[in-house]
Structure 1
Amino acid sequence: MARAQNGFVSGQGYTKEDWDDVSDNPEWTAEEIAQAKPFAEVFPELAESIRRQRGPQRTKAAISIRLDDDIVAKLRESGPGWQSRVNDAIRAWLDKGVT
């Protein structure tokens, strides 16, 4: 849910108490914005500690495979990332030497 121009809107994991804690902060002026420094420049150690890094990149091929409807339904019901989990399961199966 989007933030209201001048008021609290629920959602995004913030409570009304959170809003009240910061509601008296003044808006930045154009001069303050121009003088602002990037977070990583001001807090380099903290920025490095929270930097997210992607894992090893692999190329993937889009293929077509025919599976039973009930299998596809169960896979999709398992939620986001189901295709990656299928990929990992096939990799584990192949790594066992089953071909």
Structure 2
Amino acid sequence: MTASPPEKPGTDWDRLQKMSDEDIDTSDIPDPTPEQFARAAARRGLEPPPRKQQVTMRIDADVLEWFRAGGEGYQSRINALLRAYMEAHKKS
């Protein structure tokens, strides 16, 4: 009796093509951060976003603390969320 040759390493493309979307395990993919969500649209060829402008605004203390707890870049994350909200609510 002869031993079977070991399977070749790599992707089993035939098996993958036969899978449905429901068969794919995506449980290890983390949810996108608000900043990643806001930047999800490709901007190539589009006008650059407007320059940032310094403003003073009042934000609930617990909301601000939550963003600050996320570390450096909290102001950019707040801006990204505001931009995503603005884009989602623009009139067509």
Relative to its length, the structure with more helix (as a share) is: 1
Q: Same fold (TM over 0.5)?
A: no
Mark the structure with the bigger radius of gyration.
1
TM-score normalised by structure 1 residue count = 0.39
Q: Which has the higher contact order (CA 8 A, sep 6+)?
A: 2
TM-score normalised by structure 2 residue count = 0.42
